[in-house]
Amino acid sequence: MIPGVPGESQVYLNGEFLRLDEAKISVLDRGFIFGDGIYEVVPVYQGNAFRMAEHLNRLDRSLAALRIAQPFDRAGWIDLIQQLLARTDMETGIVYLQVTRGVAKRDHQFPSVPVAPTVFGMVSAWSPPTAGQRAKGLAAISIPDERWLHCEIKSVSLLGNVLAKQQAVDAQVDEVVQFRDGYLTEGSSTNIWVVSDGKLLAPPKNNLILEGIRYGLMGELAAEAGIPFESRRISQQEVEQADELMLSSATKEVLAIVSLDGKPVGSGKPGPVFEQLRAGYDARIAAL
């Protein structure tokens, strides 16, 4: 028994649907040994996967970046997600997908003989942010980004992100805002947004951040709301002087950050740009 995880829930592992407590992988799986794998987290509303095509496009990019063989074609992935959802009677939840390079003798280089990737999928219970979190906003602290230089790959090698998130927990705040060489990168598991002089700003899409599926979506929502959007390097000083800060991710959706390093951000309350983008996000979910 793993606390908080219902053992009877149905998961997919390497061609089979099983109870979670029956799903087992080899200790020589390269995901376990080296963190040699990739993943996706797809939110589900009203039983429908949100932005599924975009998540599957990113999954393809992550596999290609690590040169892991693609286990399914697009129809195969969609079928897997639909089967997982059908077996788990859940209206709101998270589809988690993971592919590792597979099982091989422990050796850093890629296996010299063809190895089948390990494919795992599960649906987990998840509650969207509460009305209180939406109305009150979150607190964050600034920290140096100490992760590797391929943050664009959605890899399961997440130790840097794990240590960053624990710093937030230790400081009794909700998230970290990371900076590399004096410029904003992202949160531990979120993209960070800055509002300055009525403009929405985000760091450029490069190897220093994961391009969240909400990155593209926020751009669309800003355009719909007539909010100018710029993707460029953002200095730590600009973040400290921002009118608004917010974060986005599959599980946090869009939330305001109202306090950074113990100081209020702007008015100290979720701001008008957040409210507009948040309303747009809600409309997209409702239209699913």
| Interacting residue ranges for ligand PDD, rule: CB under 6 A | 41, 161, 186, 189-191, 210, 212-214, 248-251
Q: How far apart are CA 193 and CA 252, in angstroms?
A: 13
From the CB of 13, what's the least distance to ligand PDD, in Å?
20
CA distances in angstroms from 52 to 45, 49, 91, 273, 281, listed in the order given: 12, 6, 16, 26, 15
* H or E element in which residue 38 lies: strand 37-45
Give the CA count within 13 Å in the CB-facing half-sphere of 173: 24
Nearer to ligand PDD, 59 or 195 (CB): 59
Q: Which residues are CB-contacts of 165 (< 8 A; sequence separation ≥ 6)? A: 175, 176, 188, 189
Of 41 and 184, nearer to ligand PDD (C-beta) is: 41
Question: In this complex, which beta carbon is closest to ligand PDD, that of residue 30 or of residue 214?
Answer: 214
Residue 250 CB, nearest approach to ligand PDD (Å): 3
Whichever of 43 and 271 has its CB closer to ligand PDD, that residue is 43
CA pair distance 159, 148, nearest whole angstrom: 10
Hey, which residues does 124 pair with through a beta bridge? 94
Q: Which of 24, 105, 154, 269 is catalytic?
A: 154
Nearer of residues 103 and 215 to ligand PDD, judged by Cβ: 215
The residue with its CB nearest to ligand PDD is: 212
**Cα separation, 2 vs 65, whole angstroms:** 33
Closest contact distance (angstroms) between CB of 255 and ligand PDD is: 12
What token pair was written down for 87? 């077996």
**Residue 105 corresponds to which tokens in the numbers above?**
């003798």
Q: How far is the CB of 219 from ligand PDD (least distance, A)?
A: 12
* Shortest Å, Cβ 109 to ligand PDD: 27
Residue 135, φ and ψ in degrees, nearest 5: -80, -35
- Shorter beta-carbon distance to ligand PDD: residue 9 or 161: 161
> How many of the other CB atoms lie within 10 Å of CB of 252?
20
- In the 3-class helix/strand/coil scheme, how is 60-117 assigned residue by residue? HHHHHHHCCCCCCCHHHHHHHHHHHHHHCCCCCEEEEEEEECCECCCCCCCCCCCCCC
The yes-or-no answer on residue 24 being catalytic is no
Minimum CB separation of residue 181 from ligand PDD in Å reads: 18
Annotated catalytic sites, by residue?
154
